[in-house]
Amino acid sequence: MYDCFGAGQQVSQVTFGGRDWRRTPQSAEQMYQVFAIMRQLHELLWYLVAALELPSARAVRRELRLAFTATEAMTRGPAEALLRLDIERHRREVNALLLTTSELVRARVPDPKPDYRGADLIGLSLNNADLKGASLRGARLIGADLRRADLNLADLTGADLRGADLRGADLTTSLFLTQSQLDAADGDSRTRLPPLLTRPAHWSASTGGTR
């Protein structure tokens, strides 16, 4: 599933003042370009808000707030300013701060903590796996069997969960898990979720544990 993190409304209603690209087709190309940047800024804001709510991130809370304020200010700029942004540089800077936050929070889990950052875990069986505090940032978990896995305090930033089997998995305190990641996965009534995320409607109501 695709999530624009509210960027579409920001571009149409704020950046372009309610202008409709269908009525002003000459603006369409610029609006598409601005949307691509705005979507990245809104995604960063979502992650920064999530990071600010983590009690173990107190040591970097000031830096997180400054990054949030700077990113939010960028979203309010005119189209021309947005198009001039070095968005890749800003993403790298914010991502480094989010990584530090992740490490501080995951330090609560005793070593060793699995490190699968960027790993190819497509279709892998991780049934009942202890993944507490694991780094799964950018991991490819397409179709992976994560039934009954413990993913508390696991960093799921950008993990590809398309078709991953999360039935019975515990994601209660998973870090940086988004609604779109859940929507792309499979789960059931026993899958434990962070309080601010919603159980997808297509998930099975079954409480069974077999495939």
Q: Give yes or no: residues 95 and 146 share one domain.
A: no
Cα gap 176→156, rounded to integer Å: 6
Share of the chain above pLDDT 70, in %: 83
**What is the number of domains present in the chain?**
2
Instruction: Supply the Cα-derived Rg of the chain in whole angstroms.
Output: 19
Residue 209 in tokens: 């544990």
pTM for the predicted model, two decimal places: 0.84
Q: Give yes or no: residues 60 and 118 share one domain.
A: no
Q: What is the pLDDT of residue 79?
A: 82
Q: Are 134 and 113 in contact (CB under 8 A)?
A: yes
pLDDT in tens, 64-98: 999 999 999 998 888 888 889 899 999 999 999 99
Q: What is the pLDDT of residue 1?
A: 45
- Provide the CATH number for the domain around residue 126: 2.160.20.80
Amino acid at 210: T
From the number of C-beta atoms within 10 Å of its C-beta (0-12, 13-18, 19+), residue 11 rates as buried
Instruction: Indicate whether 142 belongs to any domain.
Output: yes
**Residue where the block lists tokens 């694991």:** 134
Q: How far apart are the first and last CA of the chain?
A: 23
Q: What is the pLDDT of residue 185?
A: 97
What is the Cβ-side half-sphere exposure of residue 36, based on CA atoms within 13 angstroms? 11
Q: Give yes or no: residues 102 and 117 share one domain.
A: no
pLDDT in tens, 167-193: 999 999 999 999 999 999 999 999 999
Q: Give yes or no: residues 39 and 129 share one domain.
A: no
Instruction: Indicate whether 117 belongs to any domain.
Output: yes
Residue 154 in tokens: 């696991």
Q: Give yes or no: residues 51 and 91 share one domain.
A: yes
Q: Give yes or no: residues 123 and 91 share one domain.
A: no
Range of 162's domain?
111-211
Res. 10 pLDDT band, cuts 50 70 90? low
Query: Torsions phi, psi of 163, nearest 5?
Result: 70, 5
Write down the mean pLDDT value for the chain: 88
Q: Give yes or no: residues 12 and 95 share one domain.
A: yes
pLDDT in tens, 107-120: 999 988 999 999 99
Instruction: Indicate whether 183 belongs to any domain.
Output: yes
Instruction: Indicate whether 134 belongs to any domain.
Output: yes
Instruction: Indicate whether 85 belongs to any domain.
Output: yes
Q: Give yes or no: residues 117 and 177 share one domain.
A: yes
Instruction: Indicate whether 1 belongs to any domain.
Output: no
pLDDT in tens, 13-58: 555 555 555 555 556 676 778 888 888 998 999 999 999 999 999 9
Query: Torsions phi, psi of 207, nearest 5?
Result: -110, 10
Q: Give yes or no: residues 21 and 72 share one domain.
A: yes
